[in-house]
Amino acid sequence: RKRKERKRKRTTRRKREKGKERETTTQEEEKRKKKQKHKERKMSYCILNGAAQQRAEAKKNINCGNYGTAEVFLNGVIDDISTYVESIQDAESREKWEKTQSD
């Protein structure tokens, strides 16, 4: 009788431990996903901020009549948008940016 009780206790303890492992794995996975999203947002912000600055420089050069230099800056904007589109995971957002890129 004591053996059965010990065996039952061990079994329930193992089940509890397995449940904890699953919870821990799920929590770790959620943290990892959250970090990844934050990293993507940060990268996106940097890319788009750089594109905005290059666009402003291109506009200044166009106003000054430096069309060759402006073209270089505008090509940089296009490259930045391409890089950003490649990094987007969401399909809906990706379509919007691809449309923007083609315009």
From first to last of the 103 residues of the chain, give the pLDDT tens digit: 677 776 666 767 776 666 666 666 777 888 888 888 888 788 888 888 888 999 999 999 999 999 999 999 999 998 888 888 887 777 787 788 778 767 6
Please check whether residue 27 is in contact with residue 21, taking contact to mean a CB–CB distance below 8 angstroms. Answer: no
Residue with structure tokens 């940060």?
A: 42
- Structure tokens given for 77: 């904007």
Domain boundaries, position 58: 2-102
* pLDDT given at position 28: 80
* pLDDT given at position 23: 62
* pLDDT given at position 58: 94
* pLDDT given at position 46: 83
* pLDDT given at position 86: 81
Count the domains in the chain: 1
